[in-house]
Amino acid sequence: MLRDCAGAQRPLGGAVALVLAILLTTAVSSAYAFGLDDVAARAEKLAKESFHDTKGTVPDWLLKITYDQWRDIRYKPAQALWANRSTPFRVQFFHPGLYYERVVAMNVVDAKGVRPLPFSPSKFDYGYAGFRVHYPIKVPNRLDEVIVFLGASYFRAVGAKQQYGLSARGLAVDTALPSGEEFPYFREFWLVTPAAGAKRLEIFALLDSPSVAGAYRFVVAPGEQTVVAVESRLFLRKAVEKLGIAPLTSMFYFGENTIRTFPDFRPEVHDSDGLQINFESEWLWRPLDNPKTLGVNTFQALNPKGFGLIQRDRDFRDYEDLETRPDLRPSVWIAPRRGFGDGAVELVEIPTASDVNDNIVTYWVPKTQAKAGERLAFDYTMWWYGDDPKRPPAGKVVATRHDYGRMENVNRFVIDFSGGKLEKIPASEVLRGVVTVLNGEEAATILDQHVVKNEVTGGWRLSFQIRPKTRDPLELRAFLDKGGDTLTETWSYAMTP
């Protein structure tokens, strides 16, 4: 397994730090004093007890219904939480059944204190499986979904111009290990009643699993980019070999870099097309792939400035899919607020024969394994958005294409870059493509390398062919340079000969 290395984290910029401080410290409402410490005390006590799974509370027949039958069990909008208040936020709840085999406890925090939100036949015939938050994110006076918590510790959000796509999780445990993955779940929530005209919603959650209990605080700020500030406190019941912090889960079936052997009218099918990482002095772009065998790649770093799963292809013609609209799926960027320390961003790519299942996972893995009885804290901010020209601030990869080239036993790559300074550089200038095989010259030979202006897009195109000398996977990197000035992020790719 190859590792990319980078340096330490710089402090957040003044404007960004100020926004996050306001998001986290400004009172969301005039509610009864209740906070993360209260949930953390519950989690710490829970971690000292034997794990008790709450499966079995949902009737078996509800778990056997079809997806359409489950969707037909709808929450009554008139019964939405805070429907009779002046706050712009509303909350509706999900019915258990189908994939959702646990019932979660719901509480409301307001000026009078904390009170459980009981199940009611006037709202549902059975208990809650999760909930969704509505807010006028697109146009005034119309409530749209902005974030959903449903199933295990999964949640997903959207910005103003997106439709639901990839998901986040509270925690990942032992992902892609032979011992099998453990799925922690949120077993209880506290919804803090927002003030009139509030622009943020505060949510607390209690997480549980055989190995760990945890307390979470989410502050949700809907907008053009919906921002979710996350604070987490973890209490280990037992040692965990691989703890995945700030995990994201997405789908990649095929893209422009896929050499297809099957028919499909759609040019591409994915919810995300790349992993982006911001190290101390480098931005890295890793196009996603649907491998033939399980792929696990690790990018080592001390306090990365951020990472995320990104959907860069935004043209409808990239997909031609009227039903699912992948061009409107959000990207998610994660930035640690106090530093994650020494560790690595890990990318897991699982082979899939369809676009039904999520097969992409990424998260931060601390270098030191979590021990039984240990207490850990991780705080970070998530942005759910469409496009952001500041991520990265320089030129970026907009397309990766791959075929078998024009010579024997070679693979050809064609990489398009745009943004930053690239559009202002005329075709008469000479740019250099810096292409590296991290395995070394003994692993492969680079052939027929060219950099040309792409007169159609205004960007620049790098093309090269590579002849492997081994059957082992090759780790490739490339970027554009002009007279020693790095113009783009670093393209990173794992190629299996």
Strands 295-302 and 3-4: parallel
pLDDT at 25 over 60: no
CATH fold for domain 3-385: Beta-galactosidase; Chain A, domain 5 (2.70.98)
State residue 1's pLDDT score.
32
State residue 379's pLDDT score.
98
Mind spelling out the 3-state secondary structure of the chain?
Answer: CCEECCCCCCCCCHHHHHHHHHHHHCCCCCCCCCCHHHHHHHHHHHHCCCCCCCCCCCCHHHHHCCHHHHHHCCCCHHHCECCCCCCCCEEEEECCECCECCCCEEEEEECCEEEECCCCCCCCCCCCCEEEEEECCCCCCCCEEEEEEECCCEEEECCCCCCCCCEEECEEECCCCCCCCECCEEEEEEEECCCCCCCCEEEEEEEECCCEEEEEEEEEECCCCEEEEEEEEEEECCCECCEEEEEEEECEEECCCCCCCCCCCCCCEECCCEEEEECCCCEEEEECCCCCCCEEEEEEEECCCEEEEECCCCCHHHCCCCCCCHHHCCEEEEEECCCCCEEEEEEEECCCCCCCCCCEEEEEEECCCECCCCEEEEEEEEEEECCCCCCCCCEEEEEEEEECCCCCCCEEEEEEEECCCHHHCCCCCCCEEEEEECCCCCCEEEEEEEEEECCCCCCEEEEEEEEECCCCCEEEEEEEEECCEECECEEEEEECC
Domain residue spans in the chain?
A: 3-385, 396-495
Averaged over 169-181, what is the pLDDT? 96
Q: How confident is the model at residue 24 (pLDDT cuts 50, 70, 90)?
A: low
Q: How confident is the model at residue 185 (pLDDT cuts 50, 70, 90)?
A: very high
Average pLDDT over all residues of the chain: 89
Q: How confident is the model at residue 123 (pLDDT cuts 50, 70, 90)?
A: low
- The model's pLDDT over 373-428, given as tens digits with 9 standing for 90+, comes to 999 999 999 999 998 878 999 999 999 999 987 778 899 999 999 999 999 999 99
pTM comes to 0.90
What's the CATH code, domain 396-495? 2.60.40.10
In this structure, of 124-133, 267-276, 367-376, 483-492, the range with the lowest mean pLDDT score is: 124-133
